[in-house]
Amino acid sequence: MLRICLLFFIVCLPLQAQSVEEIQKEYIKASDSKESTEKFYTFMESVALDTPVKKAYKGASLMMYSKQSGKLRQMLKEGKKLIEEAVKEAPTDIEVHFIRLSVQEHLPKIVPYRSNIVEDKDFILQNLGNESEKIRKYIKGYISKSKVFTQGDKERIGI
């Protein structure tokens, strides 16, 4: 019995110990194609929601995959709930605001979850300079392609 428990622990531990860096890499690729979106969704299914950032990425994965899942409303609702919980748990975490902004920017206009775009954009612009070089580079990569940020915004942060 002890061997079975130990084996289970060894097999399952890597599934839940996904680093934020691994999640970020998958998130960047997730919008490239339906296959990439599904891969990100599947990847996030095994991630432990032990931080607000991971919770926000999980919510994003649900919202991104909802269109192809056949459970559109249910997954949108669940994804929104996770993202909003993450914002509530970590209101000063720039990555959580970045995730919410990126999700809201790409949702169809018919989906009533677009009310935080300006708030998150302003938060990111005000706080990006206080972050590590790694997170600045990651978020700037998104900003450079985003339609939410003006050319003036991009120049202000060095893009």
Q: pTM for this one?
A: 0.87
pLDDT at 10: 42
Could you state, in order of their start, the residue ranges of all structural domains in the chain? 2-116
As a whole number of angstroms, the distance between CA 10 and CA 8 comes to 6
Residue 6 CA, distance from chain mean position:
32
46 secondary structure, DSSP code: T
As a whole number of angstroms, the distance between CA 75 and CA 70 comes to 9
In this structure, are residues 154 and 143 in contact, taking their beta carbons and an 8 Å threshold?
Answer: yes
DSSP string, 88-151: HH-TT-HHHHHHHHHHHHHS-TTSS--TTHHHHHHHHHHHGGGS-HHHHHHHHHHHTT-SSS-H
As a whole number of angstroms, the distance between CA 61 and CA 43 comes to 9
Q: Which residue has the tokens 């998104």?
A: 142
Strands (E), 19-79: none
pLDDT per residue, tens digit, the chain (159 aa), is 544 433 344 444 444 457 999 999 999 999 899 999 999 999 999 999 999 999 999 999 999 999 888 898 999 999 999 999 999 999 999 999 999 999 999 998 889 999 999 999 999 999 999 999 999 999 999 999 999 999 999 999 999
CA distance to 5, 121, 126, per residue, from 147 (Å): 50, 11, 18
In this structure, are residues 20 and 54 in contact, taking their beta carbons and an 8 Å threshold?
Answer: yes
